[in-house]
A and B are shown apart, each in its own frame.
Chain A
Amino acid sequence: MNLFLETLIGGLLAGTMYSLVAIGFVLIYKASGVFNFAQGSMLLFAALTFVTLLEKGLPFAAALAVTIAILILGAILIERTVLRPLANRSPMTLFMATLGLSYVIEGAAQGLMGAQVHALDLGIEDVPIFIGDVLISQFDLVAAATAVTLALVLALLFNNTRIGISLRAVADDTRAALSIGINLNRIWQIVWAVAGIVGLVAGMLWGARQGIQFSLSLVVLKALPVLIIGGFTSIGGAIAGGLIVGAAENLAETYVGPYIGGGITPWFPYFLAIAFLYIRPAGLFGERALERV
């Protein structure tokens, strides 16, 4: 029983990190209808900027503040140079633009900050602790708490500020939002900046665990099954999807893995995602697309 609990809880906690990555996608998808392929590069860029500033000797808080300022500037730049000129184009055009953007961001990161692996120490010890008689990773606990806090803060922003109302309005009906004077360009800037900051948090946590390196941008691929399961349009869905993927891959590795030779964690989430596509193509919390023709 303990083994089951440990596997489950370990999986759920790891899943919150997947959720964190997926939330960045959901924010942008909701506000601009774009699957942002560059989210992984943004995450890498943010984490790399942060760790480089730390290595330059900036204190933790200052490095964080400067990184966030750079991300906000980056969001404004992306909105001006990529999104605004392509407004009203097809989603496929925008998707291809984010594909290009991801190479630009990765190239810029590599050109400015080099390609070596950086270690990041957030001061959280990665040692397991006993809660009751269940063994749990302390780092996973902190990461999970961070993810949950971030999700709560985002929910608060969306529900309690009028800019939050504007964001939801744009996500709901862009044409109507324009007609009542909502500044779409401004909303896009805010959303991309927030997605960048969410990426920074995710990048810091992932980076602390496996080092900040270029493979970090590949966590995008981990987010894909999470989004398919949870739905592209719901932050709650991203959280649930992350938890499901985390728990399922851990349980499968422990209980199914031994029978088929182990090492199934890398592909099991995709298997699960395909199963979901059969049963519920819009995801658990996604909206079913009803289009009038």
Chain B
Amino acid sequence: MGSPRRSETTAPLLDVRGVSLSFRGVKALSDLSFAVARGEICALIGPNGAGKSSLLNVLNGVYVPDSGEVVFRGEHFRQIEPSEAARRGVARTFQNNALFRKMSTLDNVLAGLARHTRSGFLTQALRLPGARREERELRARAETILEFLDLQPYRDLIVGGLAYGIQKRIELARALVSSPTLLLLDEPLAGMNAQEKAEMSEFVRDINRDLGITVVLIEHDVGIVMNLSDHIVVLDYGRKIGDGTPEEIRSNADVISAYLGTVH
């Protein structure tokens, strides 16, 4: 599942250059630039309304920035369709779970493989040999991911009725199964108790280390962010006010006054 090796390995995997976004005159992001290196866990922190989710939405094509561009794997784009972003290897989860609530855990994860289907509708419907082999491989992959995230006990249950923490993990599984290069997580620990948070951050670390997937995540729990991430970008009112390692952020005066100062 490793990311493809390319000549541009020294260049950042993701480079955000001067991105600005506004909604009816309200600036959500102003002239924002930062880079995410291949293989790192990068956390976006900042008070509510700082523009973190808007930024994630720009990265996977839900919003089109007013100016600036995003460079991903050496390819420049300003406007990209979410499904196109997914095909290029950007997977994401949402702040409020966006699972298919009426489908089983396994079907949700299988849906994450949509972009990998090579055989056509008819070949699948008629269960021709090529389609059957592909189906077997992809199902095996879905099972592996369920195993990896300890989701096997919930495999055949309808997700709408499962606990919130489990749903978050299923959403993560659905994003992972497509073998993304870049995984965007919007508040993966929100609404969880301390034990669930510890488990979830352990999973994120495993995904990053064992599967070699670059992670950009939004999280409010500063303690966990400091432990988990290699790189932190701090936003306030759509501007970047800090960018560096956890140690650098901890000692950044602007960050302390704008954000950390309010946390004990």
Q: Does B92 contact A (CB under 8 A)?
A: yes
> Which among B9-17, B20-28, B103-111, B189-197 touches the partner chain?
B103-111
Q: Does A118 contact B (CB under 8 A)?
A: no
Q: Does B263 contact A (CB under 8 A)?
A: no
Choose among A156, A157, A182, A190 the residue with the greatest number of B CB atoms under 10 Å from its CB.
Answer: A182
Question: Once the chains bind, are B107 and A168 in contact (CB under 8 Å)?
Answer: yes
Question: Once the chains bind, are A169 and B100 in contact (CB under 8 Å)?
Answer: yes
From known contacts A161-B121, A162-B110, A179-B98, infer whether A168 and B103 are also in contact, taking CB-CB under 8 Å: yes
Question: Once the chains bind, are A181 and B101 in contact (CB under 8 Å)?
Answer: no
Q: Does B60 contact A (CB under 8 A)?
A: yes
Partner of A176, one of B94, B115, B124: B94
Question: Once the chains bind, are B98 and A175 in contact (CB under 8 Å)?
Answer: yes
Residues of B within 8 A of A213 (CB): none
Give B69-101 interface residues, CB cut-off 8 Å to A.
81-83, 85-87, 91-92, 94, 98-101
Q: Does B242 contact A (CB under 8 A)?
A: no
- Distance in angstroms between the alpha carbons of A183 and B111 in the assembled complex: 12
- Distance in angstroms between the alpha carbons of A173 and B125 in the assembled complex: 23
Question: Once the chains bind, are B112 and A180 in contact (CB under 8 Å)?
Answer: yes
Q: How far is the CB of B131 from chain A (nearest CB, A)?
A: 8
- Distance in angstroms between the alpha carbons of A157 and B126 in the assembled complex: 9
Give A166-213 interface residues, CB cut-off 8 Å to B.
166, 168-169, 172-173, 175-184, 190
Give A142-173 interface residues, CB cut-off 8 Å to B.
156-157, 161-163, 165-166, 168-169, 172-173
Question: Once the chains bind, are A161 and B101 in contact (CB under 8 Å)?
Answer: no
Residues of A within 8 A of B67 (CB): none
Q: Does B229 contact A (CB under 8 A)?
A: no
What band does the interface of chain B fall in when counting residues whose beta carbon is under 8 Å from A? Answer: 20 to 34
Partner of B114, one of A156, A172, A173, A182: A182
Q: Which residue of A lies closest to B107 (CB)?
A: A165
Q: Does B36 contact A (CB under 8 A)?
A: no
Question: Once the chains bind, are A179 and B86 in contact (CB under 8 Å)?
Answer: yes
Question: Once the chains bind, are A173 and B100 in contact (CB under 8 Å)?
Answer: yes
Q: How far is the CB of A173 from chain B (nearest CB, A)?
A: 6
In the complex, number of A-B residue pairs with CB atoms less than 8 Å apart? 85
Question: Once the chains bind, are A190 and B98 in contact (CB under 8 Å)?
Answer: no
Main secondary structure of the interface of A (DSSP, over half): helix
Question: Once the chains bind, are A182 and B125 in contact (CB under 8 Å)?
Answer: no
What band does the interface of chain A fall in when counting residues whose beta carbon is under 8 Å from B? Answer: 20 to 34
- Distance in angstroms between the alpha carbons of A190 and B108 in the assembled complex: 20
- Distance in angstroms between the alpha carbons of A180 and B94 in the assembled complex: 11
From known contacts A166-B111, A181-B87, infer whether A172 and B94 are also in contact, taking CB-CB under 8 Å: no
Give B90-149 interface residues, CB cut-off 8 Å to A.
91-92, 94, 98-103, 107-108, 110-115, 117, 121, 124-125, 135, 138
Q: Does B174 contact A (CB under 8 A)?
A: yes
Partner of A165, one of B82, B86, B111, B125: B111
- Mask for B166-193, Cβ within 8 A of A = 1, else 0? 0000000011001000000000000000
Question: Once the chains bind, are A163 and B82 in contact (CB under 8 Å)?
Answer: no
Partner of A162, one of B87, B124, B178: B124
- Distance in angstroms between the alpha carbons of A245 and B111 in the assembled complex: 36
Q: Which residue of B lies closest to A185 (CB)?
A: B83
From known contacts A162-B114, A165-B107, A181-B178, infer whether A176 and B125 are also in contact, taking CB-CB under 8 Å: no
Question: Once the chains bind, are B60 and A166 in contact (CB under 8 Å)?
Answer: no
From known contacts A173-B100, A175-B98, infer whether A190 and B121 are also in contact, taking CB-CB under 8 Å: yes
10 closest residue pairs by CB, A with B: A181-B86, A176-B98, A181-B115, A172-B100, A161-B124, A169-B111, A178-B82, A182-B114, A166-B114, A180-B112
Residues of A near any B CB (own CB < 8 A): 156-157, 161-163, 165-166, 168-169, 172-173, 175-184, 190
Q: A177-B100, A177-B114 are in contact. List 15 more A-B contacts (CB 8 A).
A: A161-B121, A162-B111, A165-B103, A168-B100, A168-B102, A169-B100, A169-B111, A172-B100, A172-B101, A172-B103, A179-B62, A179-B86, A180-B114, A180-B174, A181-B87
**Can you offer 5 A-B residue contacts whose CB atoms are under 8 A?**
A156-B125, A165-B110, A166-B111, A176-B94, A181-B86
